[in-house]
Structure 1
Amino acid sequence: MFSDYSDIVSVNELMEMLDIGRSKALELLQTGQIKSLKMKGYRIPKAAVKDYILSKTKMSIEHYREIAED
């Protein structure tokens, strides 16, 4: 799904991954909807982005794995 991205992504990469603007990306980070570390800018674990997507779609991890394997 996001194999082109490293395990830690930047805000710009988050914007690309979710196809959202900078304001929305920062809102998701500042409100804690997407977990991140703030060290000279945000560092976002790719796993946190996946968790956010799964929580929003209410998709079970088992179903996600089935889809990812296809």
Structure 2
Amino acid sequence: MFAQYDDIMSVEDVMDALNIGRSKVYELLKNGQIKSIKMKGYRIPKAAVIDFILTQTKMKLERYRELAD
């Protein structure tokens, strides 16, 4: 699902992956819904984006893995 992205994503990567705008990504980062590291801009672990999606959909990890295969 996210194989085309590096393990550390940029804001632009998250915008593309989630199909949302820049301001929405920053909102999610600032309120902690997506965990990140701020070093000369935001660095977002791909795992944090996946965790956000799973949390939002309340999907269990096992089900995600089934869908990913």
Q: Structure 1 length as normaliser, TM-score?
A: 0.97
**1:33 & 1:56 partners in 2: Cα distance?**
9
Letter in 2 for 1:15: M
For 2:54, the equivalent position in structure 1 comes to: 54
Unaligned runs of 5+ in 1: none
Structure 1 residue 60 displacement after superposition: 0.5
Provide Cα deviations, 1:20-68, integer angstroms capped at 9, x if missing partner: 0011000000000000000000000000000000000000001011111
Where in structure 2 are the equivalents of 1:1-70 lying within 5 Å? 1-69=1-69
Alignment length (residue pairs): 69
Q: Structure 2 length as normaliser, TM-score?
A: 0.98
Unaligned runs of 5+ in 2: none
Letter in 2 for 1:22: R
Letter in 2 for 1:67: L
Secondary structure of the structure 2 residue equivalent to 1:35: coil
Secondary structure of the structure 2 residue equivalent to 1:62: helix
